Amino acid sequence: MEAAELQSFATELVTQTRDYIYIRPEDGLFILRPNRVHRLNRTALALLSRLYDHGSAVDTEEAVRAVAAEFAVDEARVREDLERLLISVAALLRDDVCGAPAVREIPFGSQQRDLPVLSEIALTYRCQNKCVFCYAESPNRGTQVHEMTTDEVKVIIDRIFDDAHCPTVSFTGGEPTLRDDLPELVSYAKSKGMRVNLITNGLKCANPEFVARLKEAGLDSAQVSLEGPTPQVHDLVVRHPGAFELTTQAVHCLREAGIHTHTNTTICGSNRDHLLELVDYIADELHSEYFSMNVMISTGTALKHAEEEVTYTELGAMIEQLQARARQKGTKLVWYSPTPYCLFNPVTHGLGSKSCACIDGLLSVAPDGELLPCSSYERGIGNLLARPFAELWFSRQALYWRKKRFLPPVCERCDIKHICCGACPLYWHAHGGFGELEAAGHKGRWWNDVRWRVERRLWGQAKGVGLR
């Protein structure tokens, strides 16, 4: 491209994508919000940081001159690199890696992060539903856990964006719409340049006036929990008669307001026989391009409902059936939960890499400001209102989770343990052992088991809700 053409291309691309792309100099990441991550080399980081700087106009020639001087290379070469880089950015936005000439492949799972990519704040544990699998044991814990004030939540948002350099926040619960200050909190996070998501049961979002307030505040997206294809199934799972009608109406209200919305389903015993019918409903009635699912975690309310459990051994065949039905209906399954790759490999099934994100890719905050390993934990490693982010995030307790020291000892000799990480540590805690992994052929050594128990006692003391 000629210089003028490159300037025009860059201006149009950057202007249209500033809300979607976040350049993080602290660890050299290119983040396609919310959670698609690419690592930048020093030259690419220098170029894109200048172009995506919100405080300045897009000026390709200034960026070329500055980078050429910084790295002592010819401007013509930098200009050529910039062209390839911008073409690659456009390709990645289309999810076309093959069309990205500046992208280099590296061994799978060979890179680690120091900072989170996603964050979530549970604003409350109060909820109108009483889901049979609720990891947080809502609404019972709603009166047991102190809720931060509006100003305190804003402090947490500051810590997430300014200190953790995390560009995306989800407000969750419990049910976050029960907080009267939700629109104010959405607006505050947006004012800092964050992408803001809402995780909701949808009951209040069935009201167009309430949704309009969230839209005006700047809400980007919403994830609505839909647990079945009919009132009989959904209302049984959430234990709230009439919830299905409001929840599905919420999907329509949110979309009509221009808020990007999809549904998420937690697979459990009460809905497992209705999942294919649910895919049909999502495609035919909700007209969703994609939907997400996860499997229930045995914490909180789920501990009182053993019949709701779905094991890792069972899960693989269910996911394959769901994928096939989704393709048939012209929609797409997005899978969230980690699984042991020896029992079900999400990568080979086109679902991407899934592993535990505790204090790694995810920063999870409880209603009282506690930094949790993830939202299914009762207590965490310290309170972000009382202690600096870096002190907690790089503490010995945090590194226990981020370095995957919870890896089941029977997995120590597995070639892909650094990718799989043994799936969810809470799953094995609830089961009291690793029987499914041993049945798959994994055998541990006694000293690995001793090391695992000692480290867990010293650094992995956080427990899932209701687990002891």
The model's pLDDT over 2-47, given as tens digits with 9 standing for 90+, comes to: 999 999 999 999 999 999 999 999 999 999 999 999 999 999 999 9
Tens digit of each residue's pLDDT (9 = 90 or more) over 307-337? 999 999 999 999 999 999 999 999 999 999 9
Q: Residue 46 is which amino acid? A: A
C-alpha distances (whole Å) from 377 to each of 135, 356, 373, 421 are 8, 13, 7, 18
Q: Comparing 373 with 450, which gets the higher pLDDT?
A: 373
Asked if residue 161 belongs to a domain, the reply is yes
Is 83 found in the same domain as 160? no
Per-residue pLDDT at 110 exceeds 60: no
Q: How confident is the model at residue 146 (pLDDT cuts 50, 70, 90)?
A: very high
pLDDT at 108 over 90: no
Same domain as 404, residue 391: no
Q: What total of structural domains would you count in the chain?
A: 3
Is 39 part of a structural domain of the chain? yes
* Whether residues 408 and 285 fall in one domain: no
91 with 235, same domain? Answer: no
Residue 280, class by beta-carbon neighbours within 10 Å (0-12 exposed, 13-18 middle, 19+ buried)? middle
Per DSSP, the residues of 394-451 read TSHHHHHHHTTTTS-GGGTT-TTHHHHTTS-HHHHHHHTS-HHHHHTT----HHHHHH
Q: For the chain, what is the mean pLDDT?
A: 95
Residue 110, in any domain of the structure: no
Sheet holding 36-39, edge to edge: 21-24, 29-32, 36-39
pLDDT given for residue 456 in this prediction: 85
Q: Is residue 68 part of a domain?
A: yes
pLDDT confidence of 443, banded at 50, 70, 90?
confident
Residue 273 and residue 156 share a domain: yes
Domain of residue 60, CATH code: 1.10.10
Q: Decide which of 345, 372, 397 is a domain's last residue.
A: 397
3: Cα separation from own chain's centroid: 39
- State the pTM of this model: 0.94
Regarding whether 197 and 172 lie in a shared domain, the answer is: yes
The span from the CA of 217 to the CA of 309, in Å, is 39
Between β-strands 118-122 and 21-24, what pairing exists: parallel, antiparallel or unpaired? unpaired
Kindly state whether residues 17 and 140 are assigned to the same domain: no
Judge whether residue 202 has pLDDT over 80. yes
Domain assignment of residue 107, yes or no: no
Residue 112, domain member (yes or no):
no
Are 88 and 204 part of one and the same domain? Answer: no
Range of the domain at 263: 118-397
pLDDT digits (tens, 9 = 90+) for 377-422: 998 999 999 999 999 999 999 999 999 999 999 999 999 999 999 9
Q: Which of 42, 68, 99 is the last residue of a domain?
A: 99
Per-residue confidence band for 458, with pLDDT thresholds at 50, 70 and 90: confident
Per-residue pLDDT at 24? 96
- Whether residue 323 is contained in a domain is answered as yes
Residues 129, 226, single domain; the answer is yes
The verdict on residue 113 lying in a domain is: no
Judgement on whether residues 303 and 206 belong to the same structural domain of the protein: yes
Task: Based on the fold, state whether residues 269 and 372 are members of the same structural domain.
Answer: yes
Query: What pLDDT, on the 0 to 100 scale, is given for residue 113?
Result: 80
pLDDT for the residue numbered 137: 86
Higher local confidence (pLDDT), 171 or 144? 171
Q: Of the residues 66, 99, 132, which one is the last residue of a structural domain?
A: 99
> Quick one: 86 and 130 in the same domain?
no
